[in-house]
Structure 1
Amino acid sequence: MAGAPLFTAISTSAKQLHTLLKCIAFSQRAEVQITQSGIRFSVEEARVVQGLTFLDKALFSTYSLNLNDDEHSLRPFSISIVALLETLQIFGIAEASSSSRNPYGGISSSYGNAFSAPALALGGTCRISYQEVGAPLTITIQEGSVTTTCEMNTYEAHEQYEDDGGIPLDRDSLCLKAIMQSTWLHDAITELSGTNPTVLVLSASSRSAPYFALEGEGGPFGDSTVDFLPESKNEPTPTGTRGKKQPLVTETFSVAAPSEGHSRIRQRYKFEMIKRAGRAMALGSKVSIRQDQQGVLSLQFMIDLGDGANSGPRRDEKNAAAPPSPGSVAFVDFRFVPLIGDDDDAETETESDVNSDGHEGTQ
C-alpha cells in the first residue's frame, strides 16, 4: 500500500488557479517547482520570453509538503499546462469576456450571471497531490457529488536558469523602474497592435521628454508611438531645472544612466513576444516595469483574485520583506530578452540620470 504523498494541496476555488495559469499558457509545457512557500510555474518560448506565476500557499486551504531536513523544495519537473487547464475547467469555468473586465484591472463581480451554466460551476474544489518523485501529478476536482480525477504525466525538467529560476534579471543594476496601472500598458500595446508591428521600442528618460514612450516599428501600415504625458501638462519639458520628471500615469518612475554620458534608454523587443503577456495585462491591477543594464525586461503584474481567495502575505523567496496584501492578490512575472545588433541602444544627452530611488515591485 502506498504511503503518504510527498505533496498535497487543496484549493477551494479552481477558478483562481485557472486564472493565474491561463496568463502564462503560451506554450505547451510548464516547469513546476514545489517549495515550502508555494508552487512556481514557469513557461518559456525560444529562451527569449518567459512567464512565471507563483501560487502562494496562502491560496490553498491545505498545503502539506514532506521533505527531508536538508531540503527546501522538490526536484523540478514539467507537465502539459494545456492538459492542466483543461482539467481545471472540466466543470465549465467561464472565460472572462471583454464586458466583464474591470477598468481598474482584475475581473468584475459580474463574472457570468446566475443563470448561466458556467457560473454554477465556479465553486469547485481542487486537490493536487504528488505521490513521489517521477510519479504523475494527480488533480482531483470536486463539484457537489461529482468528482473527477486526472493523472498527468510528469517529465524531467530542462536545465534551470540561475537566480530565481527565470531569465536572469540583475536587480542590482536596474536602469528603469516604473509602477503604473496595468490598464495603461494594456491599452498602449493594444493601440500599437493596430499597425501590426514586428518590434516594440521602449524609450525612457528622467531628463527630457518623452519620459516614457512605446513605439511600434516594422509594420506594413507604418510606425506608431504612444507617449505617456509628463507629470506637468503645462511644462512638457524641464527648462533650466535639475528636477526629475515622470509620466503622469506612473506611481513610481526612475531612470538610471545606462552608461556615462547617456541619460536615455532605448531598447528593442520582438512585439509578438510582448503580446504573450496580453492576458496578464488585461487582468492585472498594477504592473511593475523593470529593465536591467543588459536590456532584460520584467513586467510583473499584480492580479486581484476576488473575495473568494484565502488572503495572506505574499511569500517570495527573493523578497521576504513583502508586506501583507490588503486583499487576495497574486503575481505573474514576464521576462523578455532584448533584440540586439540593430540601432543604438541609447541616445546621448548632456546630463546623466543617476537616481535609482523607487520601490521594486507592485506591492
Structure 2
Amino acid sequence: MSLSTQQSDEDGQHVLSLRVDNARNVAMVLKAIHFKDRELATFCASENGLKVTVEDAKCVQANAFIQSNIFQEYYMQEDTATFKINLSVLLECLTIFGSNPMGGATPALKMSYGGYGSPLLLMLEESGVVTDCSIKTLEPDEMLDFNFCSANVVNKIIMKSDCLKDAFQELDMTSEVIEILLSPDKPYFRLSTFGHAGSAYSDFPKDSDMVESFQCTQTQSTRYKLCLLKPSIKALMQSSKVSIRTDNRGFLSLQYMIRNEDGQISFVEYYCAPDEEYDEDG
C-alpha cells in the first residue's frame, strides 16, 4: 500500500506530519548544509515549511528552507515545533534506497513528530517496499544570532551560479582565507586566495551577462576563513542562482536558490563572520 493511500488517523496526534512523493527532493537540500559526520541540526517547523540550521565554530551558520508547498501533505497542529536531530542519521534514512534507483523509481516519504521528547518517525516506500525509521530527537540549543538585517546591508550582488562555480575551481584552496572585494568601482567584485603557489584572484564585471543585479554602495575588502566557506560549495554546485550580501560589519550572507527534480525551488543560506585575526592585523 502506498503512503498516499494509507490511513492518517494518527496524524492528528502529531505536532508535525508531512508527506512528499520524492524523498530525494528533501535529501538534496539537506545535503547542501551537511558539514561533517555525526552533525546535529536544529529543525524548526512552521506553517510555512521547514527551516533546518547547522553551525560550525560559532563563526558560520547554514540554513536550509524547504517550503511547505513542496510537500504533497503538510500538517502542523501547533504554530511551531523545534527539535535537534543527528543530520547524518537522517540523511542515511532518506537515502536508504540509494540516490539513483533502478527503473526511475522515486522513494516516497512520510514524516511525523509527536512533540517534545518524541522521536522523529520516517516511513519510506519505493516500489512496494516500505521501511520505517525512528530517530531520537534532542532539546535544541540557543542558535547563534548573526543580527544580519536588510537595513544594514551595504553591498548585494545576484548572479548565476555557473560563474561562481568556475571561479572556485580556479582559486587556490590551500589558502587559509578568501578575500572578497565588493566595490561600486572597478574591479567591482573580486575573489582572492593566498595559497602555497602564490596569490590568485577572479574578477566579475558588473555588466556581465552572468550578473543579474549589482547594488554596491561602498568599497569593502574582507577576509573569511576558507575552511568555513568550503562547505557552502556543496550548495553552490546544486544551485542556479546565488545572492551575495555584506553588511556594515563585513558579515557575509550567501543565499543559494536550488531547484529540485520536480522544478520546485528551495533556498540555502550561509552566514559567515569575518576573520578576526585579519581584522586585528589591519
Residues 206 and 214 in structure 2, CA contact (< 8 A), matched pair in contact too: no
Equivalent AA in structure 2 for residue 272 of structure 1: C
State the Cα deviation string for residues 168-225 of structure 1 (Å, max 9, x = none): 31210111100001111121112113x5111100012113x211100002x2221111
Kindly report structure 1 stretches of 4+ aligned residues shifted beyond 3 Å: 119-122, 343-346
Residues 192 and 225 in structure 1, CA contact (< 8 A), matched pair in contact too: yes
Are residue 214 (structure 1) and residue 191 (structure 2) matched? Answer: yes
Residues 265 and 345 in structure 1, CA contact (< 8 A), matched pair in contact too: no
**Which of 302, 305, 313 is 2:257 aligned to?**
302
Q: Cα gap change, 1:131/1:339 in structure 2, threshold over 3 Å: closer, same or farther? A: same
Equivalent AA in structure 2 for residue 83 of structure 1: V
Are residue 142 (structure 1) and residue 125 (structure 2) matched? Answer: yes
**Which of 82, 87, 93 is 2:88 aligned to?**
82
| Deviation (angstroms), 1:328 | 1.5
- What residue number does 1:183 align with? 162
The 1-side partners of 2:71 and 2:65 are apart by 12
The 1-side partners of 2:226 and 2:190 are apart by 15
Task: Show the 5 A alignment for 1:332-351.
Answer: 332-342=268-278
Q: What stretches of structure 1 of length at least 5 have no aligned partner?
A: 95-117, 232-246, 258-263, 309-326, 347-363
Q: Quick check: which one's helix share is greater?
A: 2
Task: Show the 5 A alignment for 1:1-363.
Answer: 4-27=13-36, 28-67=39-78, 72-74=79-81, 76-94=82-100, 118-120=101-103, 122-162=105-145, 167-193=146-172, 196-207=174-185, 209-217=186-194, 219-229=195-205, 231=207, 249-257=210-218, 264-306=219-261, 308=262, 327-342=263-278
The 2-side partners of 1:6 and 1:278 are apart by 34
The 1-side partners of 2:211 and 2:42 are apart by 33
| Deviation (angstroms), 1:299 | 0.7
Identity %: 31
- Tell me the TM-score normalised to structure 1 length: 0.71
Q: Quick check: which one's strand share is greater?
A: 2
| Pairwise CA RMSD | 2.1
State the Cα deviation string for residues 49-69 of structure 1 (Å, max 9, x = none): 1111111110110111112xx
| Deviation (angstroms), 1:144 | 2.3
| Deviation (angstroms), 1:265 | 0.6
| Deviation (angstroms), 1:19 | 0.5
Equivalent AA in structure 2 for residue 176 of structure 1: N
The 2-side partners of 1:252 and 1:169 are apart by 20
| Deviation (angstroms), 1:342 | 2.2
Residues 205 and 265 in structure 1, CA contact (< 8 A), matched pair in contact too: yes
Residues 58 and 144 in structure 2, CA contact (< 8 A), matched pair in contact too: no
SS in 2 for 1:342: helix
SS in 2 for 1:223: strand
How many residue pairs get aligned? The number is 271
The 2-side partners of 1:122 and 1:278 are apart by 28
The 2-side partners of 1:203 and 1:134 are apart by 46
The 1-side partners of 2:105 and 2:272 are apart by 34
The 1-side partners of 2:16 and 2:104 are apart by 26
The 1-side partners of 2:190 and 2:115 are apart by 49
| Deviation (angstroms), 1:134 | 1.2
| Deviation (angstroms), 1:230 | 5.1
Residues 229 and 248 in structure 1, CA contact (< 8 A), matched pair in contact too: no
Give the number of the structure whose alpha-carbon radius of gyration is greater: 1
